[in-house]
A = this chain, B = another copy of it.
């Protein structure tokens, strides 16, 4: 695989992972290792900024993984901006996975507030990777305000329903045209979903629940890693078109046994 480049930094893995919902931090650490991920997202609100040693961060090797603080739990643009500043001030990172999610019920992003918050944060020097809907017009706005990636959902967070609309993700890929990475974030439930995201032209996926809540998170992390590689290869290899017209695998020429 070619490296994934975000804001000038290169990564060999195209699978990003989350840190929530694991049964234990030991299992999380093993799953992170098996995933091959280099970017690990962590909710700012979960980090004990004053006593880092005893917290989640003690389980993440910061020499190996790039930490991507996220603003999970923020319902408004203002909250998200404040949370990003707090993370940077505490020395976590100037990268931020921006999440503005008004409803705890649907966990779907607010596209308008996300664009607003992104604009503020970009101006303050943040590297902004926004979690967004699968609307390509919104993706265009996020690009216009200077985001370093676009992270559309496949489906709602934690549902494991894969890509609700392959076409909408494809439209975002067309819209973005490689200027920044497209990362499918949320909804990935199984390796097939991850492969499909890459096949559709996404540059990477972010997976949390599907690994953390799998029966065997470490094995699932490894499966996701393979699937991402498979999808990446397939995209470059060029898949056959879907067709309504069946086509025989074996040409008719030289038929025997049908005299």
| Residues in A lying within 8 Å of B, measured CB to CB | 18-21, 43-49, 70-74, 79, 82-83, 86-87, 102-112, 115, 133, 135-138, 140-141, 156-161, 164-165, 171, 189-193, 195-196, 199, 208-210, 212-217, 219-220, 222-227, 229-231, 233-234, 236-258
Contacts and interface: CB of A to CB of B under 8 A. Distances in A.
A255 B74 CA distance: 10
Contact of A230 (B107, B164, B226, B237): B226
B250 A20 contact: yes
Contacts of A156: 246
B111 A111 contact: yes
A19 B249 CA distance: 8
11 contacts: A45-B255, A46-B254, A73-B258, A74-B257, A83-B258, A112-B115, A156-B246, A189-B240, A190-B195, A191-B227, A216-B238
A257 B44 contact: yes
A112 B136 contact: no
A225 B220 CA distance: 17
Contact of A243 (B133, B158, B234, B244): B158
A219 to B, nearest CB: 4
Given A82-B257, A210-B240, A227-B191, A251 B159 contact: no
Nearest to A21: B249
A140 B109 CA distance: 13
A73 B79 CA distance: 37
A234 B242 contact: no
